[in-house]
Amino acid sequence: MSKRPILKRILVVGAAAFLLLQLWPVERTNPATGPSALQAPPEVAAVLRAACYDCHSNETRWPWYSYIAPISWQVAHHVEEGRAELNFSEWGAYRESKQLSLAEEMLEQIEQGEMPTWDYRLAHPEARLEPAQVEVLRRWVDGL
């Protein structure tokens, strides 16, 4: 017996399953940015926007692949978790002690290569921070 019909069936079932996955609703929200948004010097804001804002602010740029399940689930999950841990759109509403500890944590995460996440760095060359950009952040954090 030829294997073709089985292969064809697998492909059809696979395609149908893929289409079904697309029906699962995914929340891609960008809540309004109010007066609590971080006010940082332009060079600091530029680095954070390039490397962190997609997951750590309400100003997420949702890429095309964030519309395709199952990748969309991963992206939406990262944004939800990222905002919960640190949201630059809510920065001004954090207590000063929280701002300071988050700021230190930011540098640590960057230096350990944990942030931005590896999959994000893969898709976003502008998020692979140069030492000079990390230095910009460090000087800002030291002055907080």
Q: Which residues bind ligand HEC (CB under 6 A)?
A: 51-52, 54-56, 78, 81-82, 85-86, 102, 105-106, 109-110, 115-117, 120
Rounded distance between C-alpha atoms, residue 140 and residue 144, angstroms: 7
Nearer to ligand HEC, 10 or 88 (CB): 88
Closest CA to 104 of 136, 128, 137, 57: 137
| Cβ nearer to ligand HEC, comparing 91 with 120 | 120
**For ligand HEC, which is the closer residue by CB, 116 or 140?**
116
Whole-number Å distance between alpha carbons of 131 and 111: 10
| Residue 40 Cβ vs ligand HEC, minimum distance, rounded to whole Å | 12
**CA dihedral defined by 100, 81, 31, 45, rounded to 10 degrees?**
40
CB 88 within 8 A of CB 57: yes
Cβ 25 to ligand HEC shortest distance, Å: 20
Rounded distance between C-alpha atoms, residue 40 and residue 30, angstroms: 21
Minimum distance from CB of 17 to ligand HEC (Å)? 26
Output the smallest distance, CB 59 to ligand HEC, in A: 12
Type of residue numbered 37: A
Q: Which is nearer to ligand HEC, 14 or 31 (CB)?
A: 31
